[in-house]
Structure 1
Amino acid sequence: MLPCVHCGESTLCQADQDPSEVFCCTGCLGAYQLIHGWGLDDFYALRDQMRKTNSARAAKESGRYEQFDSSEFLGASAPTNNADGTCSTELALQGLHCAACAWLIEKAAARQAGLLEARVKMHRHTVQLTFDRNRIKLSEIARFLDRLGYSLAPFNPDENEHYRRESRQHLVRIACAGFLAANAMWIAVALYAGEAATLAIEHRYFMTLVGTALGVLAVAGPGRTFLKGGLAAIRNRTPHMDLPIALGLTVGSLVGGWNAIRGSGQVYFDSLAVLVFLLLIGRWIQFRQQQRAASAVDLMLRITPRHCQLVQSDANTESAVHTVPVEMITPGDVILVDPGESAAADGVVCKGVSSVDRSLITGESLPVAVAVGDEVAAGVVNLSGPIHLTVTAVGKQSRIGRVMQSVEEATTEKTPIVAMADRIGGYFVCAVIVLAGITFGRWMFTDLATAASHATSLLIVACPCALALATPLAIAVGLGRAATAGVLVRDGEALGRLSKPGYMWLDKTGTLTEGKQRVTEVRGSSEALELAAVLEKTPKHPIARAIRAHAEQLGILSEEETAERVEVVDGGVIGVVGGHRLCVGNEALVTEHTVQYDPGLKEFASKLVAAGTSPVFIAVDAVVKCVLGVSDPLRPDAQSAISKLKQAGWKIGILSGDHPAIVAALARRVGLDQTECFGGLTPEDKLERIRGAQASDPDASVVMVGDGANDAAALAKADVGIALRGGAEVSLQAAPVFVANGKLASIPLLIQGSTATTRLIYLTFGISLLYNLIAVGLAICGVISPLIAAVLMPISSASVLAVTLAVRTFQTTVQE
């Protein structure tokens, strides 16, 4: 039975008939005659090619999910047998965004035979599957969900579980403390109002006991975390900010409870409950900030692919390609990297020739040619021909994995400012405790209750909240105003570092430049450029995209005309367009295929090289007809930003993976000292430069401004890392500052705002210190009671808040 010429369906025609005249119906015959009559027979060639492509893609996707039937691959996510003969498993779900996604998955699963239930857990981004092994395979379920737009992956229940558990504990404590504080305040309001309205003594006594019980519950329940912290500080003999808080809460509870029982004295239970509630909120915010820092493994998974194509050869030298998870490949395996894909592991090219984009690793703006024997790192994007790699390192052992390890180590190092803050906090805690003891000893000979009251007043009024609020509040307001200007600062410590001038190192690609190749200069025949744009329609090379974009901008890009033959080679592209043989690429390529140049083009190319621009030659029929200058353009605000930074006292340099000649040319354009501008650097080289600058002047701030994953280690190691828009996510995790608007002009604004914020910190810190000195003195002298102390404590915080909001720090508009 032969297939229909038009639709491909089976017909009743026998094999002895002419296959070019076989049709399943008159409709297909009429469609064929119409297409043939119009001269559109290429439709059938395109159709057959598309069928082959779709078949290959389907086979590739099919192989991708075969491993879901393997317990070794699933690990802890392997299905478990239920009592009713079904199986259950929990898998990570990618692509989940909202409740509508969960509804779609659960409803669609009900229509899949053998899939009994799919329960989506939004908070964990997982799906709980219950299915019948005898009716459907897990790989089929994975393929079904993939068609819906959601990808499955093995889920480790223990991964990040401690973060989720601790977050839940924080929220439960806050909820309980809020409930107790609200009710304690209602009772306090009733008591204060009832006192003026002559509330009956027995009613006042009963409400006092109930309010005291609520306050004690708040301290002993949700506030237990502070008591544990204070007890741990005593056991370890290490001063901790929780210690005076714990002492104040303990003494306040004991004295307040005793006064409530005996029916006289102040019982500030409402203040205790509210204090616990506010302290817990602050503790939860701190925990959330710490949780945002992703682990090195998570960062690496966001950069490198989760799956790769494993090449397996048999005895007949025939090879088969299977899509497998990266976790299943080991050194020595051979993987296939198609054009447009990124390498999943470090390896050495064992077959094929191509050009690769290494900007993620080295920051090089131009593609690099690779052939057999060349090394390719994980995360590198293949641009032209398919290549086979012999794997040398996977995961944490790969080059990008080692960079991530450096990021993790650098972010855990304690800065001098943090260490100094710890010492000041320790001294403050010790001073408060000693003064409280002195106050108790001073008054105990007069009256024990009076001594306890004055000591409690001191502990409450000198609570580190007011002193500790000054710096974070000033930083928080500064960060909010910086965000309005398009600068997101993750770590307030960075503002202090940026307030004093030092060394600032800038990456080139994507930082000083736009990060995209563009045609900046043209000399020669426009017809040659038009032919080259047609030839470059297929390749995915950045320079090919630049030529097409420039031709489209000039209005000479032909949509109908196509190249008769295209061959991507080392150094460029060769092919035939409109009967003309074209060669587009670097000088070495055109020299191999060219006999002469049009007048002046060779000299023009030499000038481009001297100016730091890459020349691209267009040869038509063995004659160079046109030369293009292709470069990564300088950001429009680069020169003004660098000028302002230099005026502010910063020493500016460039650290780049690009060619040293290009870096030197760029340094001349922006007015930088070429001896402080380095090219051809690896990520490890950049890290060493940062360390060298820190060692040469420990008191100066060392800042790194980058825009790629290759800068991640340097961004993390620098005193302050600044990532611009467009950088890899790992850079944003490693850098405490993110310029969301992508403007270099925002960096001088950040410097000015950091200086103003630092001054504000000193001002608010001085106000807080003055308050503590006066309040502690009054408490020692017995002038203020615990109730007045509880009132003064929020007043001091309010004064700091008022001053902070009144002072302007950051400009909210960027002037380029």
Structure 2
Amino acid sequence: MTCASCVGRVERKLRKIEGVDPSVNLPLESARVIVPANVSDEQIIETVKNAGYEAKLQSAEGSADEQEEETGLRSLSSFRKRIWFTLVFAVPVFLISMFSTFQFPHWGWVVALLALPVATWASWPFHKSALTNLRHGSFTMDTLISLGVASSYLFSLWQLLTDPMMTAHAGMGGHGMDHLLYFDSTTMIALFLLIGRYIEARTQRQSSEALRKLLDLGAKNATVIQNGREISIPVKDLRPDDEFVVHPGEKIATDGVVISGRSAIDTSLLTGESVPVEVAEGDTVTGATINTSGALTVKATRVGSETTLAQMGRMVAEAQSTKAPIARLADRISAVFVPVVIAIALATFVGWWVFTGDTNAAFVAAVSVIVIACPCALGLATPTALLAGTSRGSQLGILIRSAQVLEDTRGANTIVMDKTGTVTEGKLEVVDAVEFSDNRNLMVRAAAAVEARSEHPIAQAIATFGQKSGSLPAVQNFESAPGGGVRGNVELDGATHTVVVGQQSFLEAEGISLTSDQQGQLRAQQESGFTTVIVALDGNVAGLLCLQDTPKSDAISAIEKLKSQGLRPVLLTGDAEPVARAVATQVGIDPHDVFAGVSPEDKVEKIKQLQSEGRVVAMVGDGVNDAAALARADLGIAMGSGTDVAMEAADLTIMRSDLESIPTSIRLSKATLKLIKSNLFWAFGYNVVAIPVAAAGLLNPMIAAAAMAFSSVFVVLNSMRLNRFERN
């Protein structure tokens, strides 16, 4: 594929299959195609072939076929060879054609022979593409290039055949351009465009290198434990529950849980954070991160395409394969652009010939229109910017799910944040247990046993607290109401107890009420800034568990930056209002923008309410209870330290756990969208200005070729500026 016309043709062909939704990426030469169950892969591939292109399925990891890339007709090595080949012939053709000092009797025939291999072999990638598309009744950018090269050569050859003695007498001195031969334009058009294509291919390859490197960063081998022995096997052979050893300095083979050992893990690959993270038994680790100190034994939990690294790769690749709504304007124009340009070129030729009678001037103007109007800059404007933005985001630990996100980010003016794990550290600790019965140990262990089955930070803190009193009993009939509480049956002290742990509203829904005295103690704990949950045993309130969390160290500065970006911060939490207001005051959120004691359903309703007020809402969360709200928001942002469900529902995923990454991600999204607009402006502007100038006869074809090549290179290099995007 070479331009937006190619993209449009493939997409139109695929859309003719009922239910198929394609999104073709020009720089990556790939397509993300959503199909119904009754459409086979072979049918999709055959449809692409019928459109005039070759296609094959990507591997599960989405890696590129490096061998094919290095040997194809449009590979970097192929362009390099053709550029050097063209230079050998183009330089003498240019000098002889332009300067009488280098001319000799019948030099025109020599120049025709020198230009022939350039017009054929060197320009073959353009001719082949043009012919292939012509057979399928379509026109692309290569159609214009092929026409420009062929028409300038054939017109010159026709002039020479009509008047064989045209160059029989070489001029002495002067500029040597008193002739109607344009073999120099033939060679220079080919040279400029080959150089332009080479630079495009090289810079596109560099801009997608972040994704390629990301997919190659995983460990290649793992040291597994089999029958008490350490054996090295390829990572692809690992299976869930396999145990493997990670020595200091080695990459962790795959996602897993530490079952023995302590160490510090360099997680900069995922988070961009240079400070190693301490891990010990029971902590989760991520594949491709680096073990910096002690030896670890890890049990594999996710392997192959299910790992965090593979999911990151897929998310980045999918984002690069989607289109922002603004890009569809370029697609619609490019679909009819080439036929219109050919029509303008023919009209230019006829107009000049009719009004001036000068066939030479008519030809020069027409060829200049054809050459300068190639729409490659239009085709590259959006995907190269998106490619650079998403790749840079992945390096900073920011994953952008789709191009639509860029449009959503631009309009966001309200940012709703969950409290626990988002604004606060999420490392809750139980600091007190208030029992209303005479068996504190029973209450704590029963609550901890049930909460151990949940992944919410509050639940984990309670489970950890309970484990200090001994091993936890098994739980039967476990049920969880996200954001409300948990219930289950546990066997303790020779009896089976029904345990309910959660907020007051949750317990009341279970038919369990607090006395006025118990409510007073609950309120007192909350007003002291403690997150407080209620424990009930066998239908009676048994006590309170008081937890404490602290705001993240960067919360104040991050929220200040969000305000400076025009975003109104709102705190939305299932925690009690006194606790939520205390946290909001500490981090700089207006107390009037605090919504506390809300369930997951209430969170969705609050977001709907804000949207009904005309607000464009971004939502930040990390837990299962945030998933519905993340999906409902105009822009969902998940913290990477949270749950898979939250990340699946989000549009942006922050792999770091710090709040500073949120304003950074919004800045990056806006910067990428701004760059797309900038690219489209220059691409459209270039054609709007250049075509009339060429039609007016003010451009020589080879100057037009240089200008066209520069426009494409400019768009790609402009996009590469995002590689220098930094946090602030």
Q: 1: distance between equivalents of 2:404 and 2:535?
A: 50
Q: State the AA in 2 paired with 1:185.
A: I
Match of 1:169 in 2: 55
**1:251-262 aligned within 5 A:** 251-256=147-152, 258-259=154-155, 262=158
Deviation string 1:677-732 (CA, Å, 9 cap, x unpaired) is: 4865667x8777767766764xx644343445776676566543323214555665
Does structure 2 retain, via aligned residues, the 8 Å contact 1:478–1:809? no
Residues 280 and 574 of structure 1, relative CA distance in 2, 3 Å threshold: closer
Q: 1: distance between equivalents of 2:637 and 2:199?
A: 33
Q: State the AA in 2 paired with 1:750.
A: S
Secondary structure of the residue aligned to 2:72 is: helix
1:187 aligns with 2:103: no
Match of 1:487 in 2: 398
Q: State the AA in 2 paired with 1:192.
A: A
Deviation at 1:574, TM superposition (A): 6.1
Secondary structure of the residue aligned to 1:790 is: helix
Deviation at 1:476, TM superposition (A): 4.6
Match of 1:249 in 2: 145
1:784 aligns with 2:699: yes
**1:458-469 aligned within 5 A:** 458-467=369-378, 469=380
Deviation at 1:488, TM superposition (A): 2.7
Of 711, 714, 727, 1:796 maps to 711
Match of 2:409 in 1: 498
Deviation string 1:327-367 (CA, Å, 9 cap, x unpaired) is: xxxxxxxxxxxxxxxxxxxxxxxxxxxxxxxxxxxxxxxxx
Match of 2:352 in 1: 443
Does structure 2 retain, via aligned residues, the 8 Å contact 1:518–1:631? yes
Residues 590 and 462 of structure 1, relative CA distance in 2, 3 Å threshold: closer
Deviation string 1:472-522 (CA, Å, 9 cap, x unpaired) is: 555554445444433233445534543445233445665446667642545
Count of aligned pairs between the two proteins: 510
Deviation string 1:239-268 (CA, Å, 9 cap, x unpaired) is: xxxx56255135225414525755742324
Residues 743 and 488 of structure 1, relative CA distance in 2, 3 Å threshold: same
Does structure 2 retain, via aligned residues, the 8 Å contact 1:473–1:804? yes
Deviation at 1:811, TM superposition (A): 3.0
**1:75-224 aligned within 5 A:** 160=41, 169=55, 175-178=72-75, 181-195=79-93, 205-206=112-113, 208-214=115-121, 217-223=124-130
Deviation at 1:417, TM superposition (A): 3.5
Give the number of the structure with larger relative contact order, counting CA–CA contacts within 8 Å between residues 6 or more apart: 2
Q: 2: distance between equivalents of 1:485 and 1:688?
A: 33
Q: 1: distance between equivalents of 2:414 and 2:541?
A: 50
Secondary structure of the residue aligned to 2:620 is: strand
Does structure 2 retain, via aligned residues, the 8 Å contact 1:702–1:718? yes
Residues 452 and 798 of structure 1, relative CA distance in 2, 3 Å threshold: same
Of 636, 649, 667, 1:721 maps to 636
**1:276-315 aligned within 5 A:** none
Deviation at 1:613, TM superposition (A): 2.7
**1:551-590 aligned within 5 A:** 557=468, 571=487, 586=501
Residues 415 and 471 of structure 1, relative CA distance in 2, 3 Å threshold: closer
Residues 421 and 548 of structure 1, relative CA distance in 2, 3 Å threshold: same
Of 433, 437, 455, 2:366 maps to 455
Q: State the AA in 2 paired with 1:541.
A: R
Deviation string 1:269-312 (CA, Å, 9 cap, x unpaired) is: 455667778889999999999xxxxxxxxxxxxxxxxxxxxxxx
Q: Unpaired segments of 5 or more residues in structure 1?
A: 1-155, 233-242, 290-410
Q: 1: distance between equivalents of 2:561 and 2:388?
A: 24
Residues 449 and 497 of structure 1, relative CA distance in 2, 3 Å threshold: farther
Q: State the AA in 1 paired with 2:118.
A: G
Deviation at 1:779, TM superposition (A): 1.8
Does structure 1 retain, via aligned residues, the 8 Å contact 2:557–2:660? yes
Q: 1: distance between equivalents of 2:431 and 2:488?
A: 19
Residues 747 and 258 of structure 1, relative CA distance in 2, 3 Å threshold: same
Deviation at 1:175, TM superposition (A): 1.6
Q: Unpaired segments of 5 or more residues in structure 2?
A: 1-36, 57-64, 97-101, 161-180, 211-319, 479-485
Secondary structure of the residue aligned to 1:454 is: helix
Q: 2: distance between equivalents of 1:509 and 1:806?
A: 36
Secondary structure of the residue aligned to 2:73 is: helix
Deviation at 1:192, TM superposition (A): 2.8
Secondary structure of the residue aligned to 2:697 is: coil
1:641 aligns with 2:558: yes
Does structure 1 retain, via aligned residues, the 8 Å contact 2:430–2:546? yes
Residues 638 and 812 of structure 1, relative CA distance in 2, 3 Å threshold: closer
Residues 637 and 583 of structure 1, relative CA distance in 2, 3 Å threshold: farther
Residues 784 and 564 of structure 1, relative CA distance in 2, 3 Å threshold: closer
Does structure 1 retain, via aligned residues, the 8 Å contact 2:668–2:725? yes
Structure 1 vs Structure 2 CA RMSD:
5.9
Of 516, 541, 547, 2:453 maps to 541
Does structure 2 retain, via aligned residues, the 8 Å contact 1:247–1:459? no
Does structure 1 retain, via aligned residues, the 8 Å contact 2:89–2:118? no
Q: 1: distance between equivalents of 2:686 and 2:475?
A: 78
Does structure 2 retain, via aligned residues, the 8 Å contact 1:707–1:731? yes
TM-score normalised by L of structure 2: 0.53
Residues 537 and 159 of structure 1, relative CA distance in 2, 3 Å threshold: farther
Q: 2: distance between equivalents of 1:564 and 1:276?
A: 67
Deviation at 1:792, TM superposition (A): 1.9
Q: State the AA in 2 paired with 1:646.
A: K
Q: 2: distance between equivalents of 1:720 and 1:248?
A: 41
Deviation string 1:731-755 (CA, Å, 9 cap, x unpaired) is: 6566442212133221222334445
Secondary structure of the residue aligned to 2:74 is: helix
Does structure 2 retain, via aligned residues, the 8 Å contact 1:664–1:674? no
Deviation string 1:65-86 (CA, Å, 9 cap, x unpaired) is: xxxxxxxxxxxxxxxxxxxxxx
Residues 675 and 194 of structure 1, relative CA distance in 2, 3 Å threshold: closer
Residues 183 and 806 of structure 1, relative CA distance in 2, 3 Å threshold: closer
Q: State the AA in 2 paired with 1:442.
A: G
Secondary structure of the residue aligned to 1:176 is: coil
**1:615-694 aligned within 5 A:** 615-616=533-534, 627-630=544-547, 635-638=552-555, 640-653=557-570, 671-672=589-590, 677=595
Q: 2: distance between equivalents of 1:717 and 1:565?
A: 37
Of 658, 673, 676, 1:743 maps to 658
**1:308-327 aligned within 5 A:** none
Q: 2: distance between equivalents of 1:468 and 1:649?
A: 33
Q: 2: distance between equivalents of 1:680 and 1:534?
A: 27
Match of 1:378 in 2: none
TM-score normalised by L of structure 1: 0.48
Deviation string 1:441-487 (CA, Å, 9 cap, x unpaired) is: 33234444543432232233233333554555555544454444332
Deviation string 1:189-229 (CA, Å, 9 cap, x unpaired) is: 22035556989987765553333233564235345576578
Does structure 1 retain, via aligned residues, the 8 Å contact 2:324–2:406? no
Deviation at 1:810, TM superposition (A): 3.9
Secondary structure of the residue aligned to 1:628 is: strand
